[in-house]
Amino acid sequence: MKNLKEIREERGVSQQELADMLQVSQKTVSSWECGYRNPGTKKMQQIEDIFKIPKEEIFFAAFNYKT
């Protein structure tokens, strides 16, 4: 499974570009990628829609959840 940072980088999207798409700060995206904070359900759904990858694949790996 991949995490948000890996997927974002593979797609050639910067933290700031993703932040702009989600209407959050770049610092917020960074905190998600580092595991300091979790995005809310709505933001997880938006990220899933942007990258066309199930949110479980993105976030369960990023936050070390077991599936």
pLDDT of 14-64, one tens digit each?
A: 999 999 999 999 999 999 998 899 899 999 999 999 999 988 888 775 455
Euclidean distance between CA atoms 14 and 9, whole angstroms = 7
Euclidean distance between CA atoms 57 and 23, whole angstroms = 22
Is the pTM above the cut of 0.85?
no
